[in-house]
A and B are shown apart, each in its own frame.
Chain A
Amino acid sequence: MILFVEQALNGLQYGSMLFLLASGLTLIFGIMGVINLTHGAFYMVGAYSAAFAVLSTGSFLVGIAAALIGAGLYAVLVEVAVVQWLYRRDHLYQVLATLGLILFTNEAVSMIFGRRPPLMDIPPFLQGSVPLLPGLDYPLMRVGFIVTGALVAIGLWALVNHTRVGMLIRAGADDREMVDALGVDIRRLYTLVFGLGGALCGLAGVMAAPLLAIEIGMGERVLITTFVVIVVGGVGSVRGALVGALLVGMVDSLGRAYIPQLLQLSLPASTADTLGAGLVSASIYLLMAIVLLVRPNGLLPARG
């Protein structure tokens, strides 16, 4: 039972990480209709910015600021320099351009920071574990991750539902031509959303950095899962991204934890191992397929 709680917490933590990445991506996709493959690169830029800020100042808070600013600014730069010119083009152009930007970003980062992955230690106030239940000590860093995800979810909910910008974002996701026709400077809104998405990626980057290798190409590894999240949750909706991220996080974590063991109960060991490993890898895609069968637009799409 304790083990199950721990695995569920792991799922929750993975879910909050995915939520930080997916909320920005879903807004960009939903509002601007842009397939932005560079999104993973923002995450990498955030992690690198944080690592080098922490290395030179020693303060984790400066690292968080550097990640938010670095990734946010880079996202704005990408929007203004490249993506802006492709809004009216076909998705294929956007995919090609943003794929090119992934390669560009990877090479640029390795030229600026070098190929050696920088080291970022866990900040002192997040080191160690906390006893959550008798017999369950959970690493504080991961608790911090869950709390960050929850705070961002609340913050985004307030932003989207209770501010003027949020109203425009919702309107943009619903019908962008109409927003434009009503005299709103949709260009600026687009740049803003891109920057916001980038900053959220940066936050994910800085939180993940102490637990991960900060390396070139770290963004591509999370990108596909992030797309799965927004497809499951429904494109363009932050609520959908939250539900999708938690679902995908839970299915992936609990799948990894229990599918091989469950199969071992009923099948011979070697078959169970092969089948289990395959099922574990496929679990989130199976989830996506089932959701799409039942609700082709995702669970909570922006456009009902």
Chain B
Amino acid sequence: MSRSAFTRRMIAAGLASAAALPMMQSAFAQAGASAPVTIGFITTLSTPAGYIGEDIRAGFQLALTDGKLGGVPVNLAIEDDALKPANAKQAADRLIQSGVKLFTGVNFSNVLAAVVPGVLESGGYYVSLNPGPSSFAGERCHRNYFVASYQNDAFHEAAGLAANRLGYKRVALLAPNYQAGRDALEGFKRTFKGEIAGEIYTKLDQTDFSVELARVRSLAPEAIYQFHPGGAGINFAKQYANAGLGKSVPMLIPAFSMDAHMVGATGDAADGIYASALWTPEATTPASKAFVEAFRKAYSRTPTMYAQQAYDTANLIGSALKAVNGDVGKQDEFRKALRAAQFTAVRGKFSFGPNQHPVQDYYLTKFEKRPSGEIVQTMVRKIAEDYGDAYAAQCKLN
């Protein structure tokens, strides 16, 4: 490298760190009483999954009024992790060093696993707005770690209960061959009472499912339960309909295998799919209607469940910030206020179990085509009331 190029680079590096200074100063300044509370908001904004991060950010920001959460001014330090645990860890460490105590935003379990330990060791708080991996729900639960969304297995367990309620006796299961896929099928089997016609594991990077669909046809189950997140979920649903299975063998999925965003790319193939869910944009509670309307007005699109989870999490944090008047340093009061969960959740009933994971209601929903051609996720019935998770008993917090 030539000398001048090297000098230029040094100058650029200098400029970059100078630009970062105001952010750090504002973080330091939060020791003062009226200064805004900085919330470390690490999420996935790039990569194909970036739409989830965008919805999470949009949902969280929607809960802010004039930059205030629960009447306390807040400052969101938003960082993109590009779905890489290492990036997220770096961003978290940087924010921790600049004095940030309160974190949220992460959207994937593997990223969460990289962020949470550092935050907790520094005496900070982490409030999860989407993943709730089993690893932090049982023995390794922590008094400063809250999950405001759901424990990961709960949707699968709820789907098992839904299959019982729908009267299915023989169900075939499909999931990608990795930890979350295996957890999904285990969760389903934990509550499903009927017979498992077969368990089919797909490859993680698989895009074509013709082979598995032929297997499903030969097994002739009454229904299938499948978990394929993201693009694979769209592929699966489209090919399932194309193979003519959609009409004869009903498909049951967990909510995150088909969100409002994916329905658009799946088209009519989504018609008739059942999903276990906490909430859909079609929910008729006043809080939900107000949220959907406000979100559509602000962003001209229908919110996904990710936006709703982020909105609820923001309001939970707001309720706790209000209780301590923005002083996160009052550790016991802040923790107590978070645990009390005094806020109106869009999804309906909400409280924390002993491991600071939610206890809430789960619903069976169905994707249905309206006469207008639009496909909506309608509520069918409640399938589990005040439902916690299987790991709470292993958590010794108190």
Taking beta carbons and an 8 Å cutoff, which residues of A are in contact with B? Answer: 3, 6-7, 10, 13-14, 17, 107, 110, 115-119, 121-122, 129, 137, 139, 141-142, 208, 210-218, 221-222, 253, 256-257, 260, 273, 276-278, 280-281
> Is the beta-carbon distance between B48 and A215 smaller than 8 angstroms?
yes
Q: How far is the CA of A110 from the CA of B47 in the complex (A)?
A: 9
* A residues near B215, Cβ cutoff 8 Å: 257
**What per-residue 1/0 map shows which CB atoms of B42-64 lie under 8 Å from chain A?**
00001110110010000000000
> Is the CB of B368 closer than 8 A to any CB of chain A?
no
* B residues near A117, Cβ cutoff 8 Å: 231, 234, 262, 264-265
> Is the beta-carbon distance between A116 and B264 smaller than 8 angstroms?
yes
Residues of B within 8 A of A (CB-CB), count: 39
> Is the CB of B385 closer than 8 A to any CB of chain A?
no
Q: How far is the CA of A95 from the CA of B231 in the complex (A)?
A: 27
User: Could you say which of B214, B231, B235 contacts A211, with CB atoms under 8 Å apart?
Assistant: B235
* A residues near B200, Cβ cutoff 8 Å: 260
Residue of A nearest to B52 (CB): A115
Q: How far is the CA of A188 from the CA of B30 in the complex (A)?
A: 63
- Known contacts A117-B231, A121-B267, A213-B234: does B244 contact A280 (CB below 8 Å)? no
Q: How far is the CA of A137 from the CA of B231 in the complex (A)?
A: 26
What is the CB-to-nearest-CB distance from B289 to chain A, in angstroms, rounded to a whole number? 24
* B residues near A110, Cβ cutoff 8 Å: 50
> Is the beta-carbon distance between B47 and A216 smaller than 8 angstroms?
yes
A-B contact count (CB 8 A): 105
What is the CB-to-nearest-CB distance from B362 to chain A, in angstroms, rounded to a whole number? 27
A-B contact pairs, 13 of them (CB 8 A): A3-B214, A118-B265, A121-B267, A129-B243, A142-B210, A211-B208, A211-B235, A213-B234, A215-B234, A217-B48, A221-B205, A273-B199, A276-B201
User: Could you say which of B205, B238, B264, B267 contacts A212, with CB atoms under 8 Å apart?
Assistant: B238
Q: How far is the CA of A256 from the CA of B232 in the complex (A)?
A: 16
* B residues near A222, Cβ cutoff 8 Å: 207
User: Could you say which of B208, B232, B261, B266 contacts A14, with CB atoms under 8 Å apart?
Assistant: B208
User: 19 other contacts beyond A116-B265, A142-B210, A221-B205, with CB at 8 A cut-off?
Assistant: A3-B214, A6-B214, A10-B211, A14-B210, A115-B50, A117-B231, A121-B268, A141-B242, A210-B242, A211-B235, A214-B265, A215-B48, A218-B231, A253-B211, A256-B203, A256-B212, A260-B200, A276-B201, A278-B177
* A residues near B214, Cβ cutoff 8 Å: 3, 6-7, 10, 257
Taking beta carbons and an 8 Å cutoff, which residues of B are in contact with A? Answer: 46-48, 50-51, 54, 177, 199-205, 207-208, 210-212, 214-215, 218, 230-232, 234-235, 238-239, 242-244, 261-262, 264-268
> Is the beta-carbon distance between A221 and B177 smaller than 8 angstroms?
no
Residue of A nearest to B243 (CB): A139
* A residues near B199, Cβ cutoff 8 Å: 273
Q: How far is the CA of A257 from the CA of B214 in the complex (A)?
A: 9
> Is the beta-carbon distance between B235 and A212 smaller than 8 angstroms?
yes
> Is the beta-carbon distance between A139 and B207 smaller than 8 angstroms?
no
> Is the beta-carbon distance between B201 and A260 smaller than 8 angstroms?
yes
* A residues near B48, Cβ cutoff 8 Å: 115, 215-217
* B residues near A216, Cβ cutoff 8 Å: 47-48
- Known contacts A3-B214, A119-B264, A257-B215: does B244 contact A213 (CB below 8 Å)? no
